[in-house]
């Protein structure tokens, strides 16, 4: 069941396509990211406090640990626990590490179910800088984003994007004057269409990392990419 559908005219898009942000009540609802005209689907959640506590413990006890990434075929998702072994235990213990493992396993499974991708690339990492501070699109078909700690990823609705400014090294040339910058909330699970989504080249969601450098903030972000969706080709 949808909470709301927010349609905005994508006047600068080829063919005048629309950009909609669709809210979901569950991961299964995120399936609607595939609908024509939908570019972003968001399942609003709050990050589990035990997981956040574990990440805080990691920052304090193992400040050099920055997370992990791997690329796998969907058929290998059953062995996910093997790939998570590098996630360290903490002195303070707690249930957060196990909860995070179960969370990642569930999200990978759900992501593969919704995307029907044959391959995926998972990255779970700590960032203390502005990382990708420039608005941009990515050459991926579908991306899952979930920020467990720190501010969420920022994005622009199509009506606020000057696409000719993308890649120009200046956010002021990308955000239409008077346009609004929107943010995913911490804990949200979002599916974004990227430029490699079949039929969507040049229409990927324009996004960037929020500004945290110099503010003493730390982000922990999960990213799962389906680089291609050959079942849709």
Binding range to Fe ion, per CB under 5 A, among 27-35, 99-107, 130-138, 221-229: 130-138
Rank residues 30 and 205 by Cβ distance to Fe ion and give the closer one.
205
Question: Do residues 5 and 20 touch, judged by C-beta distance below 8 A?
Answer: yes
- Residue number closest to Fe ion, CB atom: 138
Sequence-separated (6 or more) residues with CB below 8 Å from residue 21: 6, 39, 40, 41, 42, 157, 182
Rank residues 29 and 188 by Cβ distance to Fe ion and give the closer one.
188
Rank residues 58 and 162 by Cβ distance to Fe ion and give the closer one.
162
Binding range to Fe ion, per CB under 5 A, among 76-84, 105-113, 132-140, 173-181: 132-140
Q: How far apart are alpha carbons 143 and 147 in whole angstroms?
A: 13
Of 143, 142, 148, 179, nearest to 161 by C-alpha is 179
**Smallest gap from residue 88 Cβ to Fe ion (A):** 27
**Smallest gap from residue 192 Cβ to Fe ion (A):** 9
- Cα distances (angstroms) measured from residue 189 to each of 63, 115, 204, 213, 219: 26, 14, 18, 24, 15
Question: Do residues 121 and 224 touch, judged by C-beta distance below 8 A?
Answer: yes
**Smallest gap from residue 57 Cβ to Fe ion (A):** 28
| 20, burial (CB in 10 Å: exposed 0-12, middle 13-18, buried 19+) | buried
Binding range to Fe ion, per CB under 5 A, among 98-106, 134-142, 172-180, 188-196: 134-142
Question: Do residues 88 and 126 touch, judged by C-beta distance below 8 A?
Answer: no
In this structure, what token pair is assigned to residue 78? Answer: 């059953």
Question: Do residues 195 and 158 touch, judged by C-beta distance below 8 A?
Answer: no
Total residues contacting Fe ion by CB under 5 A comes to 1
**Smallest gap from residue 63 Cβ to Fe ion (A):** 25
| 225 contributes a contact to Fe ion by CB under 5 A | no
Binding range to Fe ion, per CB under 5 A, among 96-104, 123-131, 137-145, 160-168: 137-145
**Smallest gap from residue 138 Cβ to Fe ion (A):** 4
Interface with Fe ion (CB under 5 A), residue from 29, 57, 138, 200: 138
Binding range to Fe ion, per CB under 5 A, among 11-19, 98-106, 120-128, 133-141: 133-141
Rank residues 57 and 138 by Cβ distance to Fe ion and give the closer one.
138
**Contacts to Fe ion by CB under 5 A:** 138
């Amino acid at each position: 069941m949808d909470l709301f559908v927010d349609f905005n005219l994508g006047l600068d898009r080829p063919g005048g396509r629309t950009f909609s942000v669709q809210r979901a009540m569950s991961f299964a609802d995120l399936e609607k990211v595939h609908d024509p005209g939908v570019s972003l689907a968001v399942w609003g959640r709050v990050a589990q406090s035990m997981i956040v506590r574990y990440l805080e413990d990691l920052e304090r006890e193992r400040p050099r640990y920055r997370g992990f990434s791997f690329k796998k075929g969907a058929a290998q998702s059953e062995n996910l626990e093997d790939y998570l072994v590098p996630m360290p235990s903490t002195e303070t213990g707690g249930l957060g590490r196990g909860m995070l493992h179960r969370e990642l396993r569930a999200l990978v499974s759900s992501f593969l179910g919704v995307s029907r991708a044959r391959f995926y690339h998972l990255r779970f990492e700590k960032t203390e800088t502005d990382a990708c501070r420039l608005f941009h699109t990515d050459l991926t078909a579908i991306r899952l984003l979930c920020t467990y700690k720190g501010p969420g990823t920022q994005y622009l609705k199509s009506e606020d994007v000057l696409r000719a400014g993308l890649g120009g090294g200046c956010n002021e040339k990308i955000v239409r004057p008077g346009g609004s910058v929107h943010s995913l909330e911490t804990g949200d699970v979002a599916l974004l269409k990227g430029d490699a989504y079949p039929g969507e080249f040049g229409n990927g969601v324009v996004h960037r990392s929020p500004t945290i450098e110099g503010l003493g903030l730390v982000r922990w972000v999960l990213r799962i990419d389906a680089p291609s969706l050959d079942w849709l080709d």
